[in-house]
Each structure stands twice: as C-alpha cells, then as structure tokens.
C-alpha cells in the first residue's frame, strides 16, 4: 500500500540566490533568481505518519518551520491545491486555484507551498554542514521533545549537508 507524503515547497523564482563572500565583501547580499526561473524546491518531503510525530495533526508546525527557514522576519502563508491530484501538482507551479491554508487546519498528505504575503523573494536562512555550538545549546534547552527528536533524526540521517540552525 503506497504511503501518502507531505510536501513543503517554495517556488524557485521566489528564492534569492546566495553570493560567495570576497575579501572586499565578506557578507554579500543575495541576488534575484535569473529571469525565466521555474520549478519548485521541496524543503520537506515526508510520509504523513512520520511527520505527525513532530508536527501533530495540524499545519501549524509546518508553517512555523517554513517561516523559520524561508522568512524568519515575515508572516508568509501556506497554500495547497484544491483540484487535481498530488501527482499532477508535483511538477506544476501553483496557480490561482490554490487556497490559503489557515492555522489549525488538519495536516494532510498533500503539497504545501510557502509564499510571503508581499510576494517578494526569500532567502533560505542557511544550508550547510556548519554546526553552531551556541545555537545547539539553545535548542537543547528551549525546544519541545518532538523538535529535539526531529533535529536528532536529521543529524543522524544527513551528516554532511542539512538545513542547520
């Protein structure tokens, strides 16, 4: 029996591109994606029962994660499709037929796409294999048991390159 997946994604044309630091510019500003950029980047792909261990039964946790990774200072929202199938929308871009997902909505095996309310591009908070001891100490003392388990599962599975905080 196939297991239903939950997808959290962002449209690639809404993702700012990081620039490499130089001696003259150690903290360069990101660049806009090139014109004509298409497609989506899956931030999370998980089987529903596995994700529910961390997220519970509503989309609230997924929305917090999306905001944290893509728009920490913003108040973006999640959208999901209303017509068609999950298989159809996996390789399609969101259109006007999608609906906004609200806090408290039931977490379903579907595609959730994150967008800022102002429609502007976003920058991933950080993607690397860097481990920040001070922040991990904070996480050990200030997160829920489910968040700690999720973080440990990520580190156990992806030793080289994960989204690190």
Which tokens sit at 144?
Answer: 């829920």
pLDDT tens readout for residues 90-109: 999 999 999 999 999 999 99
pLDDT score recorded for residue 126: 57
Stretches where the chain sits below pLDDT 70 are 1-3, 126-147, 151, 154-165
d(CA 12, CA 121): 9
Domain ranges of the chain: 5-125, 126-165
pLDDT digits (tens, 9 = 90+) for 78-93: 999 999 999 999 999 9
């Amino acid at each position: 029996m196939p297991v239903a997946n939950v997808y959290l994604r962002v449209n690639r044309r809404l993702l700012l591109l990081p620039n490499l630091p130089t001696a003259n510019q150690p903290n360069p500003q990101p660049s806009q994606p090139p014109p004509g950029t298409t497609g989506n980047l899956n931030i999370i792909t998980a089987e529903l029962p596995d994700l529910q261990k961390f997220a519970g039964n509503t989309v609230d946790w997924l929305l917090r994660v999306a905001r944290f990774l893509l728009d920490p200072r913003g108040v973006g929202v999640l959208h999901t499709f209303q017509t068609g199938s999950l298989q159809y929308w996996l390789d399609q871009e969101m259109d006007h037929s999608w609906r906004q997902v609200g806090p408290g909505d039931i977490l379903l095996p579907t595609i959730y796409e994150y967008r800022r309310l102002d429609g502007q591009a976003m920058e991933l908070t950080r993607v690397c294999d860097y481990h920040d001891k001070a922040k991990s100490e904070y996480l050990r003392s200030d997160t829920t048991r489910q968040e700690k388990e999720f973080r440990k599962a990520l580190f156990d599975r992806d030793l080289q390159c994960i989204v690190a905080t």
